[in-house]
Each structure stands twice: as C-alpha cells, then as structure tokens.
C-alpha cells in the first residue's frame, strides 16, 4: 500500500478485529455488535485497504435498499480513506453511479442495493474479480428479502472468477428476539469451518475514540433500564417482552408544566366501526420533554353511534379550538392515519377556514417497529409524559402487547386489539421525531 503517511492498522481497529484483518482464508466473517461497536468503521478500513493493496480485485458493498447506501456505507468508506490518510486525489469518487475507483490499478468499490437480482448481476467485474463482498444491515435481507436464499445467490454471483481469497463480510446489530431469522442463520453459520463470528460492544473500544458523551449515554440507559441497555448497547438478544411499553409507569403520568405551547402535535388514528382517537402533546423546549395534553376518543362499536368523516373532522376542530384556548398555541401539526384519506380531506377543508391559529396536516409515518422503538426511548429516558386526561392512552399503554405466536416465529408483531391510542401516539412521536431526538442523549438520536 502506497501513501504519503505511514499508518498502523492496529491503531485504527480494535484488538478483536486485528486477527482477521489480513486472514484471506476465512470465507465468511460475521460482525455483530451493540451500538458503537465499530464494526462499520472496521469494514470500511478493510475495504479501502483491499482496494489499494490488491491490484487484481474489487469490492462490493450491499444494502438491501439502494436508497440507504449514500448516507451509510458509502459515507463510511469515504471516512475510511481519510483514516488511512490516503489522498482523495488518488481515487475517482462518484455518486452516480456510487463508486470509488483507485486510479493506479482500476480496482473499484461498487455500491448497490439488492432490491432485485439485476441490481447485483450488473456490477460483475470481469477484469478485476470481486474479492470482497460487504453486506451492511444484514437484518434487512431477512425482514424485507429472502434471507439465506438471497445471501447464497449473492455469493454465487460474485465468487465467479475467483481462485482463492474470496470473502463475505456480514454486519448487523442482533434483533432483540433470539428467534429472529437472522439470529437463527448466524447460529447455523457458526458451525461452518469457514466462518468466524466476532461480537463487540462499546466496552471493547478505547474511550478516547468514543467520547465522554457517548459513554455517559450508555451508562445512563443502564441505570434506567438495564434490559434495554443489554440489547441496545451490548447487542444481546435479550428476548421480547409481551408487554411492549413495559417501562411505562406512574412517573410518566404528569400534567403539563407549561401554560403555553408554541407547538402542539396531534396523532390521529381513524376507524369506522373501531375507535377513532386524537392524542395531543406539546413540545416543552425548556424542560426538553414531550408533554401529553389530552385526547379525543370515540368508538362507534362501543357507543352504538357511528360518525361520518365530516363529523370526526368537526370534532377535531373543536379539539384544536379547546387546546388553543387552554395553551395559546399558534401552530398544530396533525399526523393522520395514512388509511384515512376521506377524513384528511374533510379536516383540510375545515382547517382552511379563517382561524387565529394554523393546522398543518401531514400523513403519518407508519413504520411500526421503528415507531415503537422511538416511543420506548422517550419512555426510558423519561422525556415524555402523559396527562391523566388521556385515560384511554394510559389504559392501552398497560395492555399493548406482542402476539406470542409472532414472537415464536421470530418476527414480532403487536396484537391488533385495543391499540388505537398507542397507534395515534406513535404517529405523533414519529411526526415530531426531528425535534424529539434532541431531547435524548447524543448516542440515542439515530444520526
């Protein structure tokens, strides 16, 4: 490897990884970790080093979804070049297509999604065979793809033209559920003689690499919720609690401390026979907390009285009128159930009428797993509270659970029973997340 400054690889990667860095005899390398386990930075340094040291081979970096490449693995590879202190002028670095080509040899790092078979087949390098395949966020290949079958197809695609030294590197944070398909695959792979599995966590990393704030974030979670800490920070598949918001307690039931809010969010879950609910919360910048303010709840089945979308829209406007009168809020953000197009249109029509405050209507983000994780974070760090007025939300928080059969199958899903308030609250948190995340410790912001 030629560069202007001598760099010791041992100073760039943690000791657990050093024994495999130059070992070309291992076909499959599985790297798992908790948060800040440095597996991604190791993979970047490995790929960049191979690029400039092997004139006869190229590298492929894959994620399941192409649209997630640029901000993750592509960015990490560029950071790895800086850490190796190789001048950027020695590479052709392009974004469309995403490639990093070493000018001296023509060896290239290719970046691709695996949404379809053509995504990977189109980047086979006939002149410089692919020697290294890195699969980032491997869990996505099992949740959104064909799992083990897809991985075997990827291996078969890129191993062609190689006589020796071909490697697959797999990166992922273990899901909480030990029965998750990717965890089962890993246990199966561990039995192979050509496979090595290395697990790390932030405690394996020099403190000066991580910074004081990150370590304090980890230790704070440990003090608040050790089970969550074991999963998030240590990467241990701790198992799934039937009760989703098991961390919800009396401490989260508080009345808002502010008399005025500049911004109020409302999550809307809509049903015809089932309940329709509006869950409201104010953003308390000074206290760095999301404070529950109140709820609207109507069940056509329970009351025997059905309401039309027009009725529900009028009820929402009455709800915002009351909140405006109580908290003098000038801006309401309403995050509405994506399936409620008719209700959304009725609300939009009424909101356009002259008022002393504005209503911004947005379709709710409905990524259930991610939304649950974010609500759990706010609960764990006690940066959200629920008003006693939100009696239906409080009730559901104590009963919202995963389907036991789905846990056994390794793909946990919430029971679709009495979950309308929890859904509305999840829509609210997802909609305000760009602000809420800054109320959390630095290590919890998903940046």
pTM score: 0.84
Count of the separate structural domains present in the chain: 2
The pair of structure tokens assigned to 187 is 């246990």
The answer to whether residue 241 is domain-embedded is no
Residues 263 and 370 in one domain: yes
Centroid of chain to Cα 164: 36
Crossing angle of helices 309-327 and 341-351, rounded to 10°: 50
Same domain membership, residue 61 and residue 132:
yes
Q: Do residues 188 and 283 share a domain? A: no
Check whether residue 306 and residue 391 sit in a common domain.
yes
Q: Are 420 and 279 found together in one domain?
A: yes
Residue 217 resides in a domain: no
Please check whether residues 90 and 162 belong to one and the same domain. yes
Same domain, 205 and 271: no
Indicate the residue among 210, 231, 266 that finishes a domain: 210
What phi and psi, each to the nearest 5 degrees, are found at residue 155?
A: -60, -45
Q: Examine residue 226 and state whether it is found in any structural domain, yes or no.
A: no
User: Residue 56: what pLDDT?
Assistant: 87
| Alpha-carbon distance values, 311 to 259, 272, 314, 350, 427 (Å) | 29, 12, 5, 11, 22
- Which residues make Cβ contacts (< 8 Å) with residue 365, sequence separation at least 6? 335, 371, 427, 430, 431
Q: Is residue 239 part of a domain?
A: no
CA gap 214, 442 in Å, rounded: 6
What's 208-250 look like in SS3?
A: HHHCHHHHHHHHHHHHHCHHHHHHHCCCCCCCCCCECCCCCCH
Residues 168 and 56 in one domain: yes
Q: Is residue 227 part of a domain?
A: no
Domain boundary among 184, 210, 236: 210
* Residue 245 domain-assigned (yes or no): no
Q: What is residue 118's predicted lDDT score, i.e. its pLDDT?
A: 58
311 and 424 both lie in a single domain: yes
Kindly state whether residues 156 and 300 are assigned to the same domain.
no
Instruction: For 217, list phi and psi in degrees, rounded to 5.
Output: -60, -45
* DSSP class per residue in 375-414: HHHHHHTT-EEB-TT-HHHHHHHTT-BB-HHHHHHT---B
DSSP 443: G
CA distances from 288 to 44, 83, 257, 384 (A): 36, 36, 11, 9
pLDDT for position 1: 47
Gap between the Cα atoms of 301 and 441, Å rounded: 43
pLDDT average per 10 residues of sequence, the chain (447 residues): 71 96 96 96 97 92 89 94 95 94 95 74 71 96 94 91 88 95 96 97 96 92 94 95 93 91 96 92 94 95 87 96 94 93 93 88 95 96 96 95 93 92 98 95 78
- Is 120 a domain residue? yes
| 302 in the same domain as 156 | no
User: Cis (ω within 30 of 0) for the bond into 415?
Assistant: no
Longest CA pairwise span in the chain (Å): 78
Q: Which domain holds residue 57?
A: 9-210
* Residue finishing a domain among 161, 193, 210: 210
Give the CA dihedral 31, 32, 36, 42, nearest 10 degrees: 0
Among left, alpha and beta (phi > 0; psi -120 to 50; other), residue 68 is alpha
Residue 320 lies in a domain: yes
CATH of the domain at 19: 3.40.50.300
Regarding whether 156 and 259 lie in a shared domain, the answer is no
Residue 3 is predicted with a pLDDT of: 45
**CATH number, domain at 431?**
3.30.420.280
């Amino acid at each position: 490897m030629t560069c202007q400054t001598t760099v010791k690889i041992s100073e760039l990667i943690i000791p657990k990884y050093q024994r495999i860095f130059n070992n070309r005899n291992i076909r499959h390398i599985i790297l798992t970790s908790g948060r800040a386990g440095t597996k991604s930075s190791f993979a970047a340094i490995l790929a960049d080093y191979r690029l400039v040291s092997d004139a006869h081979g190229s590298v492929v970096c894959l994620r399941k979804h192409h649209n997630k490449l640029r901000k993750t693995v592509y960015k990490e590879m560029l950071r790895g070049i800086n850490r190796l202190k190789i001048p950027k002028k020695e590479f052709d670095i392009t974004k469309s297509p995403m490639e990093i080509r070493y000018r001296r040899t023509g060896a290239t790092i290719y970046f691709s999604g695996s949404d379809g078979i053509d995504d990977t087949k189109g980047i086979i390098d006939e002149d410089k065979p692919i020697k290294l395949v890195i699969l980032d966020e491997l869990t996505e290949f099992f949740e959104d793809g064909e799992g083990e079958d897809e991985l075997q197809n990827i291996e078969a695609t890129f191993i062609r033209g190689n006589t020796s030294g071909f490697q697959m590197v797999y990166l992922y944070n273990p899901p909480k559920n030990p029965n998750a398909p990717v965890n089962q695959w890993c246990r199966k792979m561990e039995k192979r003689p050509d496979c090595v599995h290395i697990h790390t966590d932030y405690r394996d990393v020099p403190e000066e690499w991580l910074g004081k704030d990150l370590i304090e974030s980890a230790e704070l979670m440990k003090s608040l919720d050790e089970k969550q800490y074991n999963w998030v920070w240590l990467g241990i598949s701790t198992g799934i609690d039937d009760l989703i918001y098991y961390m919800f307690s009396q401490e989260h039931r508080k009345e808002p401390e502010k008399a005025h809010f500049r911004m109020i969010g409302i999550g809307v879950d809509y049903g015809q026979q089932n309940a329709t609910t509006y869950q409201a919360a104010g953003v308390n910048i000074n206290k760095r907390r999301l404070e529950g303010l109140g709820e609207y709840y109507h069940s056509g089945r329970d009351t025997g009285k059905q309401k039309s979308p027009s009725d529900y829209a009028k009820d929402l406007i009455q709800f915002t009128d009351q909140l405006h009168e109580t908290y003098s809020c000038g801006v309401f953000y309403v995050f509405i159930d994506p399936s409620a197009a008719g209700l959304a249109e009725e609300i939009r029509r009424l909101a356009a009428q002259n008022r002393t405050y504005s209503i911004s209507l947005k379709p709710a983000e409905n990524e259930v797993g991610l939304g649950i994780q974010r609500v759990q974070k706010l609960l764990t760090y006690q940066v959200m509270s629920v008003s006693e007025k939100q009696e239906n939300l409080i009730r559901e928080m104590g009963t919202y659970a995963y389907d036991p059969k789905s846990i056994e199958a390794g793909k946990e899903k919430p029971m679709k029973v009495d979950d309308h308030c929890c859904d509305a609250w999840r829509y609210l948190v997802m909609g305000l997340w760009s602000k809420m995340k800054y109320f959390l410790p630095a290590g919890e912001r998903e940046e």
